[in-house]
């Protein structure tokens, strides 16, 4: 099983590869638009084959933005899963070595409802592990993640985060959760 | 209703002016042309405001890249400008000396310790930086040399020099 840190790195690798792939397509589309007699088959049997340059460029720009959004959403999903798992582990530790029925019932109730807790409250619980500063950063990333998920252009943006910075911050927090 | 500018957005706009003035001199030194435009930014913390954009054009007025301000409200930074070329784009962030840092807390028994840790290496002075995506945690000061290098990277444009 992979760790949250490894999963976050995988999200970033996927994002970078997607960016590269889209840059290759863009370069080829531009090249072919200048040279009608091209012998290149890179775009053969793809949606770009018959596409106008301006349309292709608009589509690629949209795809690049979508890839960045998806990286933020995916990294947050990985982080949130690790956070919930860590809280479950902590609950489990609070059971007695020979859990009583009462122990067991409390544990089952908490662990079955953890994923429905408000995420800000869940983040507050890990402050003793990661400190208030990082917990605050995590909340800011979540706020931006929510804006990305709905992307209403009429609504002002909360503080933005790029995938690189989100990676660094979430990896540090995830590593602290793993270490304790 | 237009809200008054915040100090943060004013500082952001001033830093963009300074950055763009430098870029204009670097671009014209290579025979490129520059054209200013504007973009509307709408942020929860700073309201709605206009920022200057900067297009980089060939001597034949063909657009090869554009600097587009993204905002002043950025996690860990004082502002962000995207350098968007015909092929690719990169992110520039405005940081204080040392760059963004985090405070980590550790506990040994009853003793609680906190330590400040920079997020990126290489931020020796305040200014605009580019973070290399493929090398972990390495930031580069955006200067004349890097401008030419990134311009080539985002646009494939060869200015012959």
**Residue A97, token pair as written in the block:** 């070595």
- Radius of gyration, alpha carbons of chain A: 22
Predicted-complex ipTM score: 0.86
Question: Residue A115, exposed/middle/buried by CB under 10 A (0-12, 13-18, 19+)?
Answer: middle
Are A156 and B44 within 8 A, CB to CB? Answer: yes
**Residue A151, token pair as written in the block:** 């992307």
From chain A, the residues in CB contact with B131 under 8 A are 164
How distant is the Cα of A75 from the closest Cα of chain B, in angstroms? 16
Q: What angle do CA A44, A50, A51 make, to 5 degrees?
A: 115
pTM reported for the whole predicted model: 0.89
Mean pLDDT within B125-154: 89
Within 8 A by CB and 6+ apart from B7, the residues are: none
* Structure confidence by residue, pLDDT tens digits, A44-101: 888 888 888 899 999 999 999 999 999 999 999 999 999 999 999 988 888 777 888 8
Mean pLDDT within B1-20: 85
Contact status, residue B68 vs residue B90, Cβ threshold 8 Å: no
Mean pLDDT within B102-111: 72
* Structure confidence by residue, pLDDT tens digits, A22-42: 999 999 998 888 876 777 888
β-strands B101-108, B111-118 pairing: antiparallel
d(CA A164, CA B142): 17
Q: Report the share of chain B in percent with pLDDT over 90.
A: 70
Are A131 and B105 within 8 A, CB to CB? Answer: yes
pLDDT grade, residue B11 (50/70/90)?
very high
Are B75 and A23 within 8 A, CB to CB? Answer: no
What pLDDT score does B1 carry? 43
Tell whether the model's pLDDT for residue A108 goes beyond 70: yes
What pLDDT score does B61 carry? 94
How distant is the Cα of B141 from the closest Cα of chain A, in angstroms? 17
């Amino acid at each position: 099983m992979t760790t949250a840190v490894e999963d976050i790195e995988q999200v970033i690798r996927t994002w970078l590869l997607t960016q590269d792939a889209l840059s290759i397509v863009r370069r080829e589309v531009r090249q072919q638009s200048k040279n009608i007699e091209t012998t290149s088959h890179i775009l053969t049997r793809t949606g770009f084959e018959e596409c106008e340059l301006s349309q292709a460029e608009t589509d690629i720009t949209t795809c690049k933005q979508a890839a960045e959004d998806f990286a933020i959403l995916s990294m947050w999903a990985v982080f949130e899963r690790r956070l919930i798992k860590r809280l479950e582990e902590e609950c489990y530790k609070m059971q007695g070595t020979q859990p009583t029925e009462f122990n067991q019932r409390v544990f089952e109730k908490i662990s079955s409802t953890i994923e429905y807790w408000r995420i800000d409250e869940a983040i507050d619980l890990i402050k003793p592990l990661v400190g208030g500063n990082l917990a605050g950063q995590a909340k800011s990333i979540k706020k931006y993640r929510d804006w990305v998920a709905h992307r209403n252009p009429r609504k002002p943006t909360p503080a933005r985060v790029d995938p690189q910075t989100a990676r660094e911050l979430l990896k540090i927090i995830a590593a602290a959760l793993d270490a304790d | 209703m237009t809200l008054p500018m915040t100090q943060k957005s004013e500082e952001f706009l001033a830093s963009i002016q300074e950055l763009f003035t430098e870029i204009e001199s670097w671009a014209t030194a290579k025979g490129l042309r520059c054209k200013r435009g504007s973009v509307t930014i709408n942020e929860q913390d700073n309201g709605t405001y206009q920022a200057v954009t900067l297009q980089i054009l060939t001597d034949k007025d063909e657009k090869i890249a554009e600097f587009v301000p993204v905002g002043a409200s950025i996690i860990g930074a004082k502002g962000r400008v995207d350098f968007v070329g015909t092929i690719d784009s990169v992110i520039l962030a405005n940081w204080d000396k040392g760059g963004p840092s985090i405070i980590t807390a550790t506990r040994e028994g009853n003793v609680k310790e906190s330590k400040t840790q920079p997020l990126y290496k290489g931020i020796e002075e305040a200014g605009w930086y580019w973070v290399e995506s493929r090398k972990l945690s390495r930031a580069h000061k955006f200067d004349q040399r890097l401008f030419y290098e990134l311009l080539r990277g985002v646009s494939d444009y060869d200015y012959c020099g």
